[in-house]
Chains A and B, each alone.
Chain A
Amino acid sequence: MSFFSFGQSAEIDVVLNDAETRKKVEHKTEDGKKDKYFLFYDGETVSGKVNVTLKNPGKRLEHHGIKIEFVGQIELYYDRGNHHEFVSLVKDLARPGEITQSQTFDFEFTHVEKPYESYTGQNVKLRYFLRATVIRRLNDITKEMDIVVHTLSTYPELNSSIKMEVGIEDCLHIEFEYNKSKYHLKDVIVGKIYFLLVRIKIKHMEIDIIKRETTGTGPSVYHENDTIAKYEIMDGAPVRGESIPIRLFLAGYDLTPTMRDINKKFSVRYYLNLVLIDEEERRYFKQQEITLWRKGDVVRKSMSHQAAIASQRFEGSAASEMNAPKCISDIPHLMNAFLTLF
């Protein structure tokens, strides 16, 4: 860039006003690495400062305008040329002219709509970023700053369990049940598999979480399946009448909320795949879609309140809401309850 050693060049950078207090989250980049970015929610204001620092103090910088943009866009990897912008805001910071010394410009994008969650996938990327530009005749000076957006949902009003009887006629009949159809990202899948008929020799059973990313429309639709988790729930041969419990903690896996037809460009859906494997390595499976959603962070209540809830839920415990202990260490048997759950 210092080709034009006679002319002036500058560095441009963007700093958020709430950089000290705003939370940062990890987000996967296209090459699989994880980086930290500022976290924003829908409706939040994005404000900060653009610093233009002259490389050669004393020389003036001529420009055709300085601006900052807030962009939300979808990028399909097989169609890199076309970025689909669904949010595009611009603020002019300076009219065409010249700068004689390093300068700072304030900006504010008030209550910006951020309808979708940031997503980096196999064939598609949805990102939000600020882009500050010093427009010049031959080459612009530009700087991009990515941010991450999370979309939050509230507890679904209707969250029915999934219960189904499936099988192969006269060989294998099972009834599977998952306690919910909609799970938040830190939720637990609680379920059971009940064996009605077992005429094959089952060796073990597992439950897989499969993520399916769908891009494209009409004739050219791409599906990318990715097995996020494989969790063995049974080792050995079951017989009729046996129930196998499922308890799968989602917090340990790299999951995103379910995304349906985002801006008519892509979808990300999740499936539970129940797989039974017999002694000859034959696989019998049943796939079931679940909805994943992101819950807002809840401020934790006092530990004693949490202990009361935990003790209530521990099987066989006689503790009731009325007799909530003041402190965990007061009551030894509740201590055990806590250790079992965590």
Chain B
Amino acid sequence: MKSDRILTLLEGQGDMAETIADTRRLYTKPQNLNDAYGPPSNFLEIDVSNPETVGVGRGRYTTYEVRLKTNLPIFKLKESSVRRRYSDFEWLRAELERESKVVVPPLPGKALFRQLPFRGDDGIFDDSFIEERRQGLEQFLNKVAGHPLAQNERCLHMFLQDESVDKNYTPSKIRQA
């Protein structure tokens, strides 16, 4: 049959037919429209804002509001707001360094020199210094909270979503069902 002959002809030219590579796309499953246009599964926003100085005299310190909005299932609360001070951030960083294999980013400076007396400005309560520190703390948290390994640490979740930080806690990993 004529068609048989045509097929045989092509077989013999197997190698020739390969001269032009087949670059057609591989088959892909069409995307579900809900997935394409719905909210993404990686929504995580952390803000460090509203610095407030509490206490009087030498016992004064500044706290910052740490606000979190997310749809990641690993966070118990989808929205949370807590107040934290600089030493709480230091505690978190130390815990993460010890407990996880994460290379923990640095915090904004401790600025001990600002705590010395006889300064011309407001020292650690100086507005521009607080703003600089606020930005650094926000960068630090965003870098850390998005890290898949850091997200497994109890200390991170306690820092971000518990009312207060219990420094006597038992370090542990979060396990998801």
**Interface of A toward B, CB cutoff 8 Å:** 155, 168, 170-172, 177, 179, 186-188, 190-192, 194, 197-202, 237, 239-243, 245, 247, 278-280, 282, 298, 300-301, 305-306, 309-310, 313-315, 321-322, 341
Query: Are B15 and A200 interface neighbours, CB within 8 A?
Result: no
Can you list 17 contacts pairing A with B, beta carbon distance less than 8 Å? A155-B18, A188-B21, A191-B26, A192-B25, A194-B28, A197-B41, A199-B42, A239-B36, A239-B41, A240-B35, A242-B35, A243-B28, A245-B25, A280-B143, A298-B16, A298-B19, A321-B6
- Contacts of B119-165 to chain A: CB distance below 8 A: 142-143, 146-148, 151
What's the nearest-Cβ distance from chain A to residue B15, in Å? 6
For B72, the chain A residues whose CB sits under 8 A away are 199
Query: Are A179 and B16 interface neighbours, CB within 8 A?
Result: no
**Interface of B toward A, CB cutoff 8 Å:** 6, 10, 13, 15-26, 28-29, 31-32, 35-36, 40-42, 44, 72-74, 142-143, 146-148, 151, 176
Of B10, B24, B42, B73, the most chain A CB neighbours within 10 A belong to: B42
Which one of B10, B20, B42 lies within 8 Å of A200 (CB-CB)?
Answer: B42
Of A197, A242, A282, A300, the most chain B CB neighbours within 10 A belong to: A282
Query: Are B20 and A306 interface neighbours, CB within 8 A?
Result: yes
For A199, the chain B residues whose CB sits under 8 A away are 41-42, 72
In the complex, the chain B residue whose C-beta lies closest to that of A281 is B143
Given the known A-B contacts A179-B26, A192-B28, A199-B41, are A321 and B10 also in contact in the complex, defined by CB atoms under 8 Å? yes
Query: Are B22 and A198 interface neighbours, CB within 8 A?
Result: no
In the complex, the chain B residue whose C-beta lies closest to that of A300 is B19
For B148, the chain A residues whose CB sits under 8 A away are 168, 171-172, 200
Query: Are B16 and A188 interface neighbours, CB within 8 A?
Result: no
For A243, the chain B residues whose CB sits under 8 A away are 28-29, 31
- B contacts with A: majority SS: loop
For A278, the chain B residues whose CB sits under 8 A away are 146
What's the nearest-Cβ distance from chain B to residue A70, in Å? 32
For A197, the chain B residues whose CB sits under 8 A away are 41
Of B17, B40, B148, the most chain A CB neighbours within 10 A belong to: B148
Of A171, A194, A242, A341, the most chain B CB neighbours within 10 A belong to: A171
Query: Are B31 and A188 interface neighbours, CB within 8 A?
Result: no
Which one of B23, B31, B35, B40 lies within 8 Å of A341 (CB-CB)?
Answer: B23
For A192, the chain B residues whose CB sits under 8 A away are 25-26, 28
Given the known A-B contacts A298-B15, A301-B16, are A188 and B23 also in contact in the complex, defined by CB atoms under 8 Å? yes
Bound form: Cα–Cα A306–B17 in Å: 8
Bound form: Cα–Cα A306–B21 in Å: 11
Query: Are A322 and B6 interface neighbours, CB within 8 A?
Result: yes
Which one of B13, B15, B18, B31 lies within 8 Å of A241 (CB-CB)?
Answer: B31
6 smallest CB-CB distances across A and B, nearest first, come from A243-B28, A241-B31, A241-B35, A171-B148, A188-B21, A240-B35
For A172, the chain B residues whose CB sits under 8 A away are 148
Bound form: Cα–Cα A341–B24 in Å: 10
Bound form: Cα–Cα A163–B57 in Å: 66
Given the known A-B contacts A191-B26, A239-B36, are A313 and B20 also in contact in the complex, defined by CB atoms under 8 Å? yes
Query: Are A313 and B41 interface neighbours, CB within 8 A?
Result: no
In the complex, the chain A residue whose C-beta lies closest to that of B145 is A280
